[in-house]
Structure 1
Amino acid sequence: MSTSAPVPKFQVLRSWKTAPYLVGAGMAMMGDNIEHVITYLVLWNTFHSPVLVGFQLISHWLPFLLLSVYAGGLAERFDCRRIIQAAQVLFMFVSLCWGILFLTGTLQLWQACVLLVLHGIAGCLWGPAEQMMLYDFAGRDQLPSAVRINATFRSLGILFGPVVGSALLLLLGPTAGIFFNIVFYLPLTIFLMRTPFTGHSREGAFSTGRVSLIDSFRVLGTVRRNTVILGMLILSALASVTIGAVLQTAMPVFSAILTPTGADGELIYGILLFALGIGGVLGGFFLEASGRIKPTVTTAVVAAVGFGAFAMVFAFTGSVAIAVIALVLTGASQITATATAQAIVQLEAPPAERGRVLGAYSMFGPGMQTFSGVTIGVLGTLLGIPLTVVLGGAVLVGGAALTAGYMARGRRRAGLVG
């Protein structure tokens, strides 16, 4: 699905109407990850609960699974600037509450669970409104570029969030560090006070329909009738369930396997994590700089196949060098698949239902990462972590091929009907 005219490379970064938005989103994503680094360490040192570790993963992704379509309905009905600001304020509130509980030494398990859930809800609320703002800023022709660069800046936040979080722990300690983390949410929040874009400027009036949880899910009927949108959702769900957060969660296991005798295991662990993260960043910049890879169904399928295949290579190898290369290519394939699918879903979605369709994408994509814990927990116990990743990669490769066939048949049928 190519755009109608060539778009200058990095055009959205050259505009003061979009560049602060993209940078602010990257900083907010960094704040999100800094909070994980600080709070997860404190929670483990306080409670030593493996169950709580599992709940951290579930509480982060389950709101995406259950509430993303409803969040998309809110984005259709209301000013997206205010929805994103509400999400950022909720992030800041959660960081403030963590800080107060750390400072007073009154943190209890139930309080931790509530704050973890609120953090997940903030991320879910942010997603569809963020994508609608991208469409409003960039327009249809520049949308794929805006989605790519936004995904790249978010990847930068994910990459450097743990680094900055670790630095804050060392320099300030967990209490002062979590208070300082509030600063990272402010640039995006303040910028949205000044921009005239609402997420609806190009498409006219706001939706006037009801915004209820049940009514929101009626958009799945639209999704089901559009073969391309449904195919993108299936690809996203497959990637989330099979590989998703599994690689990052299982990285300590792989670092132990790959660390040579006498070498520093923590160093190898850090290198592997950095390789996966930098792959996403480099992949995003390459997509924009080259201008050769278009946001088409074929691109999404090939990138999903690459995501699974390179993950399999990483799980197979016993060489640190090959593992690093495979992880860089895995990260690059992942961001290509994600950014392409998001752009296609936006372009294919009916304007009146764009928010809920984007919410459906969040439900099938990030939301399905809720089950990646089951993938690594159950299959990892039965088969071992490396074989689990190999199996997940193989399922993703095969599933992507089958999904491509399904979309091709759907397009042929549509052509015959037309």
Structure 2
Amino acid sequence: MFSSLRVRNYRTYAAGNLVSNLGTWMQRIAQDWLVLVLTDHNPVALGIAAALQFAPTILLSLWAGVLADRLDKRKLLIAVQIGLASCALALGVLDITGQVELWHVYVLCVAVGVFFAVEVPVRQSFVAEIVGRSQVTNAVALNATGFNLARVIGPAVAGIMIVLIGTGWLFIANGVMTLAVVVGLLLMRAGELHPSPKIPRRKGQLVEGLRYVRKRPDIIVVLVLVFFVSTFGMTFFVTLAVVASKVFGRDADGYGLLSTALAIGTLGGALLAARRSRNGRPRTRVLLGAAFSFGVLEITVGLMPTYTAFAIALVPVGVALMTFMTTANSTVQLAVAPEMRGRVMGLYMLVFLGGNPIGAPMVGWMAAEWGPRSPIYVGGAVAALTAVVCGVVLIRRGGVKLPVTKWGRSHILRRDRRGLPVK
């Protein structure tokens, strides 16, 4: 389950990343609550803040993938982390001094979004260089484990600290904790990395990456599934603060505990993914099953009548969600050529995060017009339906091997690319 931790460089990287992720989740809770306080608990403003933070992904993610294939990923990550720390410290100072206004939060959301758009595809493709191809699936799962361990601790701590000292000091703490990644990157041994071939600078490299993906229908189906699940299914996170305050009458600590309940599930899902990684390349059936289960479980959460039942139901949602995310990520990384990994992961992150500028305001609008629970129902239905459609497409193309019955035949025949049955 923890085989990637045998690699010294990965241990150094993972330790710094864990500290930074803890600060990131503390800031996310603090930022959401600050927006609600500044706007008298307006869910639309919350959706706008989320949209502004993810909007730069649409413009920059693909170019960041090109940079990842051209430049030293470690040095690029160091520069980006310093920029993220600066944004957190600036917001903290404005908040502590009582000068913060909503437009300050929006501007810094855009700035964070710019750095984030560059950082994510570079970081995703850098994982393979740290551990080597054979450990990619395990390393992706362990990255998710660290992320979600911080997600368990961070929101709960943030909810309590907001009540005790306010939101400002949490932004300062995140700025300092982000520098832990910089320290981890600096302590790596460059000679023990597995660098991908650097491509020389020339025109048309971004288009070259898109053409590569266009010729890979297996990757396209995964990207379509990721887009719909992330845009419509996962954006219900934006309204958790509204559900906590409007539906269940809870304060910031209640919101933090809902986020923690979800994180307990995603942590469990990440650990299970790390355990499954010993079996090699992830299976498409696991990807489709996780997406469908996530949608059904999300709808179930929306039906929960009490705060406690709602929080408990978030745990299996987190398991299904993290199983889907880690499987999709490692499936794409292992399916592409090393020299294309940065650009393909740039496209992957564009699909994964680029829908948020659409989904987040839409979710905020639905919460305001149809009630806080409505985004949960709609998102779950879209995720489940998309999983079914993508599953049918892959079965017809022969991309999914169905379970064999006791009579030795699958219930549905697989088909090749021409649509003919495959024995």
Normalised to the residue count of structure 1, the TM-score between the two structures is: 0.85
- For 2:190 and 2:391, the matched residues in 1 are separated by 36
Give yes or no for the alignment of 1:238 onto 2:228.
yes
Contact 2:286-2:327 within 8 A present in 1 as well: yes
From 271, 276, 287, the counterpart of 2:262: 276
Contact 1:26-1:155 within 8 A present in 2 as well: no
- By how many angstroms is 1:297 displaced? 1.2
Label 1:268 to 1:290 Cα distance change in 2 as closer, same or farther (>3 A).
Answer: same
- By how many angstroms is 1:29 displaced? 2.2
- Give the superposed CA RMSD: 3.1
Letter in structure 1 aligned against 2:64: A
- By how many angstroms is 1:207 displaced? 1.2
Aligned to 2:210: 220
- For 1:391 and 1:176, the matched residues in 2 are separated by 36
Give yes or no for the alignment of 1:113 onto 2:106.
yes
- For 1:284 and 1:120, the matched residues in 2 are separated by 25
- For 2:359 and 2:218, the matched residues in 1 are separated by 25
Give yes or no for the alignment of 1:356 onto 2:370.
no
From 8, 11, 15, the counterpart of 1:16: 8
- By how many angstroms is 1:273 displaced? 2.7
Moved more, 290-299 or 133-142: 290-299
Label 1:107 to 1:339 Cα distance change in 2 as closer, same or farther (>3 A).
Answer: same
Aligned to 2:409: none
From 188, 191, 194, the counterpart of 2:184: 191
Give yes or no for the alignment of 1:311 onto 2:303.
no
Q: What secondary structure does 2:343 align onto?
A: helix
- By how many angstroms is 1:119 displaced? 0.9
Letter in structure 1 aligned against 2:379: G
- For 2:38 and 2:311, the matched residues in 1 are separated by 34
Letter in structure 2 aligned against 1:347: L
Structural mapping, 1:155-194, within 5 Å: 155-169=148-162, 173-194=166-187
Aligned to 1:285: 271
Give yes or no for the alignment of 1:83 onto 2:76.
yes
Moved more, 156-165 or 346-355: 156-165
Contact 1:303-1:333 within 8 A present in 2 as well: yes
- For 2:97 and 2:307, the matched residues in 1 are separated by 44
Q: What secondary structure does 1:355 align onto?
A: helix
Moved more, 394-403 or 407-416: 407-416
Query: 1:112-131, CA deviations, whole angstroms, 9 ceiling, x for partnerless residues?
Result: 33221111122221111111
- By how many angstroms is 1:305 displaced? 0.5
Give yes or no for the alignment of 1:144 onto 2:98.
no
Give yes or no for the alignment of 1:206 onto 2:193.
no
After the TM superposition, which parts of structure 1 deviate over 6 Å for at least 4 consecutive aligned residues? Answer: 263-267
- By how many angstroms is 1:382 displaced? 5.4
Aligned to 1:372: 359
Normalised to the residue count of structure 2, the TM-score between the two structures is: 0.84
- For 1:236 and 1:332, the matched residues in 2 are separated by 16
Q: How many residue pairs are counted as aligned between the two chains? A: 402
Query: 1:240-274, CA deviations, whole angstroms, 9 ceiling, x for partnerless residues?
Result: 122112145245326755x5xxx967776554332
Aligned to 2:126: 133
Letter in structure 1 aligned against 2:355: M
- By how many angstroms is 1:198 displaced? 9.0
- By how many angstroms is 1:332 displaced? 0.6
Contact 1:77-1:209 within 8 A present in 2 as well: yes
Q: Report % sequence identity.
A: 26
Q: Which stretches in structure 2 are left out of the alignment for 5+ residues?
A: 400-414
- By how many angstroms is 1:284 displaced? 1.1
Label 1:49 to 1:276 Cα distance change in 2 as closer, same or farther (>3 A).
Answer: closer
- For 1:264 and 1:416, the matched residues in 2 are separated by 54
Q: Which stretches in structure 1 are left out of the alignment for 5+ residues?
A: 1-8
Query: 1:364-417, CA deviations, whole angstroms, 9 ceiling, x for partnerless residues?
Result: 112212222243234445544434422321221121111122233344545999
- By how many angstroms is 1:353 displaced? 1.5
Label 1:14 to 1:414 Cα distance change in 2 as closer, same or farther (>3 A).
Answer: same
Query: 1:84-107, CA deviations, whole angstroms, 9 ceiling, x for partnerless residues?
Result: 111210111112222343455544
